[in-house]
A and B are shown apart, each in its own frame.
Chain A
Amino acid sequence: MNDESQLRQTTPSVRLHTTRNLYWVRDANFTLVIEEEKDVTKRLEGDAAALWGWLSMGLSLSQCVRLLSAMNNMPSAEAASEINQHLRAWQEAGLLEDGSQTQ
């Protein structure tokens, strides 16, 4: 199976966005994300920190997949799966919200 077919969408799209009280600060080797209202702090390192930075600039999912895939010499599908895991983890931690529920 090639990368293109692996990336075919099988689930509905979800628009995630950061919560209203979210701040982050970049240090030399990590990014510290703070959700003030929920009192949640997360220290992001490695791929997670890179992904946070790219998404905060408004890069698309496909751009992030391309960058992560090149970074780690991994197939696009694997990069996409890793990105989804990070997004899910951030959503579960309360750093991201499903945009459709807060409109």
Chain B
Amino acid sequence: MSLPMVKQVIDAYFEILDEEKSERADIQFFGGEPFYSPEVVYFSVVYARRKAEERAMDIHFEVTTNGIFSADVAAWVADHFDAVILSLDGPMDIQESQRPARNGKPVFPIVYNNAKIISSGSADLILRSCISQKTARRIMEITAWIVEEFHPKAVCFESVHPTGQSKKAGLFPPGPVEFARQFHASARILEAHGIAAVHSTTDVSICRTTICPVGRNALIISPDGAVDACYLPEKAWRDAGLEFRLGKVRAGKFDINENVLQGIRRLANGDKPSCVNCLCRYHCAGGCHVRQNGNRSIGRYDNTCMQTRLVTITNLLRRLNENDLATEWLTDEAAMARFACQSSDHISEMA
């Protein structure tokens, strides 16, 4: 994205905030990797903060990054951002096998060092560990390592999303049962250290109608000035038959298609057909609109849904302080399988 485009986008955003008499601005950087265009980040943060200052407005900056940058940049990030979501899958062997650098050189030492720097700064550090079949059994080891090495606000465990590239690299999603068991045990360790354990679709502390920016009126701006509702590549949502192109940045303003916007709001607020009998829908909100086809028949769950169902149950039990019950249930594979596949959670329909 060019600097003039960045400026147009930020100006247009503040114009909306002014119209809405908003007292807070939120700017998030993600990609790809935002620091592949570092000047865009360096410029945006200073320029937007200046605009917020002029209005005595709070501003919140968040970045999702692979952490591959210099220690000086890490210190700047720690000072200038409120939240940093850093992809760190685990100790060296895990990180290097799941996220090898294109040039074959080890990147773990860089990411580790930068995580340390950010961890000691004022920004909230959120570590995001991508879990594959190979690493599912090591979630507790990953957790213990993180607790020992860093001071994150939260640790987010997410399953590998299968793509052509991940399959080629031998990375497949973990089994739902193994993941649920390991997540529960890890969450207990993290929570004992005051660190939140996050799994994006199973946050039982809130009820949601969407788990992502779609439907939240977020404006996701691409380098060419396209304004989308979803951060996935255009091809991904188009292939899923969805229209997430909200409009374009034109002459310093967001030119938004109202019909598309309303359609997206309706999509995010409606139950997916396969979710109507599932108790998790209040928290997972049907998951990703693009990747999870909610138009399956009622009560038919894929592996992602099953994982969500199992983790949701253990999260609910933990929230009720029923840790022993959760642990006991997690040892009963038959019970877990039964619940994971149960087509309806309505009490009246349970056997």
- A residues engaging B (CB < 8 A)? 26, 29, 46, 50, 53-54, 56-59, 63, 66-67, 70-71
Contacts and interface: CB of A to CB of B under 8 A. Distances in A.
B42 A67 contact: yes
B72 A56 contact: yes
Interface of B: 3-4, 7, 39, 42-43, 46-47, 49-50, 53, 70, 72-73, 75-76, 79-80, 122
Contacts of B122: 26
B79 A53 contact: yes
Given A57-B70, A66-B39, A67-B42, A29 B79 contact: no
Contacts of A63: 39
B76 A57 contact: yes
B54 to A, nearest CB: 11
Contacts, number: 42
A53 B70 CA distance: 14
Contact of B76 (A53, A66, A67, A70): A53
Determine chain A's interface SS by DSSP, over half rule: helix
A57 B72 contact: yes
Given A56-B75, A57-B72, A70 B46 contact: no
A3 to B, nearest CB: 14
A56 B122 CA distance: 17
Contact of A46 (B39, B50, B72): B50
Determine chain B's interface SS by DSSP, over half rule: helix
A91 to B, nearest CB: 21
9 contacts: A29-B49, A53-B46, A53-B76, A53-B80, A56-B76, A58-B72, A66-B3, A67-B46, A70-B43
Given A26-B79, A26-B80, A70-B7, A57 B42 contact: yes
B42 A59 contact: yes
B288 to A, nearest CB: 35
A57 B3 contact: no
Contacts of B4: 70
A67 B73 contact: no
A70 B7 CA distance: 8
Contacts of B80: 26, 53
A26 B42 CA distance: 15
A70 B80 CA distance: 20
A88 B75 CA distance: 25
Contacts of A54: 42
Contacts of B3: 66-67, 70
B116 to A, nearest CB: 17
Given A26-B79, A63-B39, A71 B47 contact: yes
Given A57-B42, A67-B39, 16 more contacts: A26-B80, A26-B122, A29-B49, A50-B46, A53-B76, A56-B75, A57-B72, A57-B73, A57-B76, A67-B3, A67-B42, A67-B43, A67-B46, A70-B3, A70-B43, A71-B47
A54 B70 CA distance: 13
Contacts of A66: 3, 39
From A56, A57, A66, name the one whose CB has the most chain B CB atoms within 10 angstroms.
A57
Nearest to A69: B3
A57 B80 CA distance: 12
A59 B69 CA distance: 13
Nearest to B74: A57
